[in-house]
Amino acid sequence: MVHKEKTWYVIGLYFIRIGIEIERVADIPEALISIASKYKASVQRDVEHCEDNHGTCAGRDIWLGRFDDPGIETVAFFHELGHVLSSEIVCKRGRTMTKLSSEGLAWELGLGIAFEHGYEWDRDGPVMIWAREQLKTYCSYKNCR
């Protein structure tokens, strides 16, 4: 969640409004940090390199951008954690069949872990609709080869 504030300064007897907005971005929820740690992964906020409402990962590090909805942030975290864990499976085999299968595997593993930790979303609710929309972005001919 993003909070913006206008800053006012007092100079002498005058109030001057500075046209700079200070932006505070919500911290990563402690529950997600704890879950990441359980799987020997880390999670942190990266608003500079992650698009809004998206995350990314490399190795065992997960980065989350700004999120408008805490439920979507949580499911995005579990998807990225799914990538972290799926890399262990994929390394044994050498590669995934396609980019689409890699993304699907990350979603399935991540949602399984979420369920184990008490997270569950309505299949037709906004969080799972968002998740399916993200997966659909990989449904192109080039990602299925």
Query: What's the pLDDT tens digit per position in 12-21?
Result: 555 545 555 5
pLDDT exceeds 70 at position 6:
no
CA-only gyration radius of the chain, Å = 19
Helix (H) or strand (E) holding 14: strand 14-25
Could you give the CA distance from residue 118 to residue 14 in angstroms, rounded to a whole number? 54
Q: How confident is the model at residue 3 (pLDDT cuts 50, 70, 90)?
A: very low
Cβ atoms of 135 and 108 closer than 8 Å? no
pLDDT exceeds 90 at position 101:
no
pLDDT exceeds 70 at position 122:
yes
Token couple for 15: 């109030």
Cβ atoms of 78 and 111 closer than 8 Å? yes
45: which strand partners? 64
- Which carries the bigger pLDDT value, residue 85 or residue 94? 85
Token couple for 88: 């262990």
Sign, CA torsion 104/109/113/116: positive
Give the least confident one: 11-15, 81-85, 94-98: 11-15
Amino acid at 82: G
